[in-house]
Amino acid sequence: MLYLRYIYPALVLATLFLAGWEGYVLLTDASALILPAPSDVANGLWVERREILRHALATIGVAGVGFSLSILFAFAVSVSLHFALWLRRGMMPLLVASQTVPIVALAPLMVLWFGFGLLPKVLLVILVTFFPMVVSLMAGYASQPRAFRDQLVSMGASRWVVFRRATLPSARAQFFSGLRISATYAIVATIFAEYAGARQGLGIYILTAKNNFRADLVLAAVVISATLTLTLLAAILIVERATGRRFRRVTHA
């Protein structure tokens, strides 16, 4: 019931939007090739459920591997930058520059360099999602309580002990903020990589539906993409709340 209170306004707005969309299509007799009604999208999703599920599972697999590796990579990079000032000064401009490369140009290059397998799609997901987590972690490290850090140093604590007991706990909230931002990009980056070149996945399904002038199936795949992203965000929120108290107990032990 607590979660329903938070999602109730969104459900109401979404219902009103879909009702208005359905009514507009019925009143204007819009072509299904251009603007299918939500009922047509739902019908296409049901009829094609097995095929869409097959492609969705492929997308979930790539996004899961890529996003998991991205989290590990972001944490390793952030720790390295935190402990090595010279490395931070040298790498931060390069990390920022990596985010200025348009994904529309990078995805085909990844396929060209690494083929149609798992690697190019995973690399693209990592490249798109790791940066917000690195920035959030670095900001969290900088927000550590100075008094607590100085107290640990005065007691002879090593840099690693200070990091584990003062720096890392202070970055928890920022880390999950960056994690949520990155999660919104994970599925989209995977689909775009598949769209540029893959054997299966929602990206390929969208491309095929577009070429067959099936706007209803394109929108059905978009609905699945949005659902996967929202599910990932919900999972992150659950993990954040479930591990919060335990994390604080372990790090302050």
SS3 102: coil
Task: Classify residue 148 by burial, with Cβ atoms within 10 Å: 0-12, 13-18, 19+.
Answer: middle
CB neighbourhood size of 105 (10 A): 9
Burial 49-88 (b: 16+ CB within 10 A, else e): eeebeebbebbbbbbebbbebbbebbbebbbebbeeeeeb
Q: Residue 132 has which token pair?
A: 């917000």
Along the chain (253 residues), what's the average pLDDT of each consecutive run of 10 residues? 65 89 88 88 92 94 94 93 85 83 81 83 91 91 74 72 80 89 91 83 91 92 94 89 62 48
Q: Is the dihedral of CA 103, 104, 105, 107 positive or negative?
A: positive
Q: Nearest to residue 125, comparing CAs of 248, 229, 14?
A: 229
Position 192 scores a pLDDT of 87
Position 251 scores a pLDDT of 45
What CA–CA distance (Å, rounded) separates 164 from 167?
6
What CA–CA distance (Å, rounded) separates 34 from 188?
23
* Contact partners, residue 174, CB within 8 Å, separation at least 6: 136, 137, 139, 140, 143
How many angstroms separate the Cα of 178 from the Cα of each of 49, 61, 71, 148?
A: 33, 22, 10, 25
Position 150 scores a pLDDT of 66
Position 116 scores a pLDDT of 78
Residue keyed to tokens 């978009």: 222
Q: Residue 200 has which token pair?
A: 């299966």
